[in-house]
Amino acid sequence: MRLVLLFLLISLQAPGQTRLVLLGTGTPNADPDRNGPSLAIVVHDRAYIVDCGPGVVRRAAAAAAKGISALAPSKLSRLFITHLHSDHTIGYPDMILTPAVLDRPDALEVYGPTGTKAMTRRILAAYKEDIDLRTNGLEHGNPNAYKVNVHELKEGVVYRDSNVTVKAFKVSHGSWKYAYGFRFETPDKVIVVSGDCTYSENLIVAAKDCDILVHEVYSVEGFKKRTAAWQAYHSQFHTSTTQLAEIANKVKPKQLVLTHQLIWSSTEEKLLAEIRELYKGSVVSGHDLDVF
């Protein structure tokens, strides 16, 4: 009996119950191999989605087809939004409506920056006739599935359940007034998501010694070939490979995962080389449907 109890205890504490799934690793560029920014933290059989770029629900369905059942569309009920840039939110109507059509049992819970409530009201207004027909017509859809409960963010703990504690922290993303990163603390991992940002001391503090740091990045080599106007923009809104290497040397994550990569005229291999020249830890270039 004692051996059985010990086995159960070890099983409950065993590593590997948390997975990071990259759903979309793209940018505003229409790259057919990289969907819009989105990822999932999966703990046991629940998925916590961060950002909702183009194609988010279909990418989740693809991950479910590969064996990650928590990402079945009907189970998508927790969404965290870093900021309201279009490439991070074009899939928001998809997150609201598609899982509802596919029998999500309850409302979508959304945690996003100031402005998320207004965006949500307008999306629901735009699809009012569709929702009315689906719930009151011959589909007999579940009205609860079409509800959205929005929680606008402040720094600190923004969500907690038996699987995870989620902390939001402000980052600098150019002239965006409200932009956040997230720290997910689960029983076996700490995963930090940068969102879109330039070099951030706030992120360094929040991410210190995490297991996985998922961070956006742009190529220094490619940047040099951009126009002066674009250079002014990107230097204020995004993080260079040189800056990210400095961040990673301070944070010391077990794994650095690159996403939202602005490579331009350079290459993915050169982008990685730029970081590895200054940072000797483990770093990988993320692709859609990668699992960590």
pLDDT tens-place string over residues 168-178: 999 999 999 99
Taking 70 as the threshold, does the pLDDT of residue 4 lie above it? no
Read off the pLDDT of each residue in 87-102 and give the average, rounded to a whole number: 98
Question: What integer best gives the mean pLDDT of the chain?
Answer: 94
Q: Considering the domain boundaries, does residue 5 fall inside one? A: no
Q: What CATH number did the domain enclosing 127 receive?
A: 3.60.15.10
Read off the pLDDT of each residue in 132-157 and give the average, rounded to a whole number: 97
pLDDT for res 16: 57
The DSSP line for 27-76 is: -SS--TTSPSSEEEEEETTEEEEE---TTHHHHHHHHHHTT-GGGSGGG-
Q: Considering the domain boundaries, does residue 91 fall inside one? A: yes
Q: Considering the domain boundaries, does residue 193 fall inside one? A: yes
pLDDT for res 1: 46
Taking 90 as the threshold, does the pLDDT of residue 13 lie above it? no
Q: Considering the domain boundaries, does residue 56 fall inside one? A: yes
Distance, in Å, from the CA atom of 195 to the CA atom of 205, rounded to the nearest integer, reads 15
Q: What pLDDT digit, counting tens, does each position of 231-276 carry?
A: 999 999 999 999 999 999 999 999 999 999 999 999 999 999 999 9
Q: Considering the domain boundaries, does residue 11 fall inside one? A: no
Domain count, the chain: 1
Question: Where in the sequence is the domain holding 77, given as residue range(s)?
Answer: 18-285
**Percentage of the chain with pLDDT > 70?**
95
pLDDT for res 15: 45
Whole-prediction pTM:
0.93
Q: Considering the domain boundaries, does residue 201 fall inside one? A: yes
The DSSP line for 194-215 is: --S-SS-HHHHHHHTT-SEEEE
Q: With beta carbons less than 8 A apart as the criterion, state whether 39 and 59 touch.
A: no
Q: Considering the domain boundaries, does residue 10 fall inside one? A: no
Taking 60 as the threshold, does the pLDDT of residue 6 lie above it? no
Taking 90 as the threshold, does the pLDDT of residue 194 lie above it? yes
Q: Considering the domain boundaries, does residue 6 fall inside one? A: no
Q: Number of helices and strands (H, E) in the chain? A: 11, 13
